[in-house]
Amino acid sequence: MNDLIPMLSGSLGNPFELIDLPVDDWVTWFVDWLVNTFRDFFRSWVSPPVKTVMEGVQWLLTSTPPLAVLAGLFVLAWRAASWKVGVFAVVAFAFIGFMGVWDELMTTLSLVITSVLFCLVIGVPIGILCSRKDMTYTLVRPILDIMQTTPPFVYLVPAVMLFSIGNVPGLIATIIFAMPPTIRLTNLGIRQVPGQYTEAATAFGSTPRQILWKVQVPLAMPTIMAGLNQTIMLALSMVVIAAIIGAGGLGLLVFQGLNRLDIGQAFVGGLGIVLLAMVLDRITQGLGEKAPGSRASSDD
């Protein structure tokens, strides 16, 4: 009887002292194994395409005279959204240019464009697969949760170990972090297409593939565009973090500014990111509203 009280207050009362799960060791072991086994694979198969696209986009943006970039931007924003958005985009970009950080802007823009491109190329097909079979989505969903909720800092380390420092690990981290909305909203958009349209397409003898491409994907386009919009915003939010492992651009300005307590430089970088975010947001929102599938909302 007398022994019971110290037991309760000791190890029995606190079960956490009895078992010590060495998860940190396991993860260390796993990452070591991952890095040792796949480093060559990642460096020779994953890295080059990302790097090539990134360099291509960057070359295109930096070798084009700024005035031509502004003109192109205006046309894009005008066609995708409206002439007002076009004017806003040009003013915002010109302002960033006049702050003297045009090159950094172009680098960040190429980082965003590249990672979003990969998010779409990988995410949209996965989203479509998820919408076809409940089982697929059940499997993919926890992975998406992990991708979205793991703090990006956590996977910066393995990214660096796999890809060394520079733009590429930053891009990989950004792609992982920004892809979930594309998958989720592609899946959601296709599932939300009203049954009457797929029924009509079926009644006219369409194959499942025809139903997907002629009816479901176009009608899901506004939702897929909303996913694209979120993906772009997430990708932008990663550029500062990616700067820690050597990605360049506006994020690097902020990171260096904070390190050197150069508030002015950090602010310039931050303002640039905010303006870029607003421009990209307005353009992609316009795309969603102008997608032909958006007519579905006004139809009963």
Question: Contact positions toward other proteins, by CB under 8 A?
Answer: 196-197, 199-207, 210, 214-215, 218-219, 221, 291-293, 295-296, 298-300
50 vs 291 by CB, closer to other proteins: 291
**Degrees (nearest 5) of the Cα angle 62, 65, 68?**
115
Q: Minimum Å distance from CB 203 to other proteins?
A: 4
Q: How far is CA 55 from CA 61, 74, 91, 111, in A?
A: 10, 23, 26, 9
183 vs 221 by CB, closer to other proteins: 221
Distance, first Cα to last Cα, the chain: 74
Cα–Cα distance, 116 to 169 (Å, whole number): 15
Q: Minimum Å distance from CB 121 to other proteins?
A: 23
Type of residue at 144 = L
53 vs 291 by CB, closer to other proteins: 291
Q: Minimum Å distance from CB 300 to other proteins?
A: 7
User: Smallest Cα–Cα separation from 240: which of 281, 271, 264, 278?
Assistant: 271
43 vs 191 by CB, closer to other proteins: 191
Q: Minimum Å distance from CB 192 to other proteins?
A: 13
285 vs 294 by CB, closer to other proteins: 294
158 vs 218 by CB, closer to other proteins: 218
Query: Where do we find the tokens 């926890």?
Result: 142
Residues 6+ apart with CB under 8 A from 240: 251, 254, 255, 269, 273
Cα–Cα distance, 276 to 92 (Å, whole number): 8
Q: Minimum Å distance from CB 293 to other proteins?
A: 5
Q: Minimum Å distance from CB 223 to other proteins?
A: 13
